[in-house]
Amino acid sequence: MNYRHVFHAGNHADVFKHAALTLILEHLRSKPQPFAVLDTHAGIGAYDLTSEGAQRTKENEAGAALVFGRPLAAAPDYAALLAAMNPDGLTAYPGSPEIAARMLRADDRLILCELHPDDAAALKVRYRNDPRLHVHRRDGYEAAVALSPPPERRGLVLIDPPYEAPDEAARVAATLAAALRRWPTGVFAAWYPIKDQAIGDELAAAARAGGFPKTLRAEFLAYPMDGAAMAGGGLLIANAPWKLDEKLDALCRELHPILGEGHGSWQIEWITSS
């Protein structure tokens, strides 16, 4: 309830996560049938990088500021979205709700869940005039299960918590397992921070033990792991779209010399294959 993403908006982990999100949304848009996106920890949608909170940490300077203005051949929609939001220089950064909202078509839907009362109120104001968007002040874990499957039967559930609680990874794993039982064909993407391998290994083990359908583990580290600072971020993606592994590998190859001065690394591997 106390976490505010404005302090971290546009950092190196956001760049990988949000560029990857555009690749998943591109896949969903490639078919004519409508789809739904459920964002379990939505925040406020977009962030002012000139605000006191963002300026206090300036984490975007080692992330979005380094990719802004580049074409990003591996994630052109992400680069184009950053450019569209910032015609006069980088001052705003899109969270996952803003990215999804800008990539929805007329018949697609976006469900945003946020428990923080101020952030939920900000979301409702920001998107009040868009009938495709539905904002709930609601526990995102509960919603991921209760709202699966959506009427569209196509779509994505993005689980992106702050990992402040010691049992956060276990909650993510349990939510994925329960939601996949209800919606075995849905795309589920769970993000996690990387200081060491603990969270990624826990989620991967849960995917294997739970027999998750075709699940991809994708991690991009801007810096070497030291067990203390956040080196990068990862995504565990169940029902990963076709060729997403190849697209994410191309993205990591392009980001590697830009973020972390080339000192980072990445891994893309299938945790389950069916």
Window from 78-82, 83-87, 175-179, 261-265 with minimum mean pLDDT: 261-265
Question: What does the alpha-carbon distance between residue 184 and residue 187 come to, in Å, rounded to a whole number?
Answer: 9
For the chain, the distance separating the N- and C-terminal CA atoms, rounded to the nearest angstrom, is 36
Asked if the model's pLDDT at residue 206 lies above 70, the reply is yes
Q: Between the CA of residue 166 and those of 153, 162, 163, 170, 198, what are the distances in Å?
A: 33, 11, 7, 9, 12
**54: pLDDT strictly greater than 90:** no
Judged by phi (left if over 0) then psi (alpha if -120 to 50, else beta), residue 11 lies in beta
pTM: 0.96
Q: Which amino acid is at 222?
A: A
Give the model confidence (pLDDT) of 126-138 as tens digits. 999 999 999 999 9
**Segment 146-159, tens digit of pLDDT:** 999 999 999 999 99
SS3 readout for 125-160: HHCCCCCCEEEECCCHHHHHHHCCCCCCCCEEEEEC
pLDDT at 21 over 50: yes
Q: Which residues are annotated as catalytic?
A: 160
Three-class DSSP category at 98: helix
Q: Are 46 and 243 in contact (CB under 8 A)?
A: no
Tens of pLDDT, residue by residue over 210-244, are 999 999 999 999 999 999 999 999 999 999 999 99
Cα 235 from Cα 17, distance rounded (Å): 7
pLDDT band at 196 (very low <50, low <70, confident <90, very high): very high
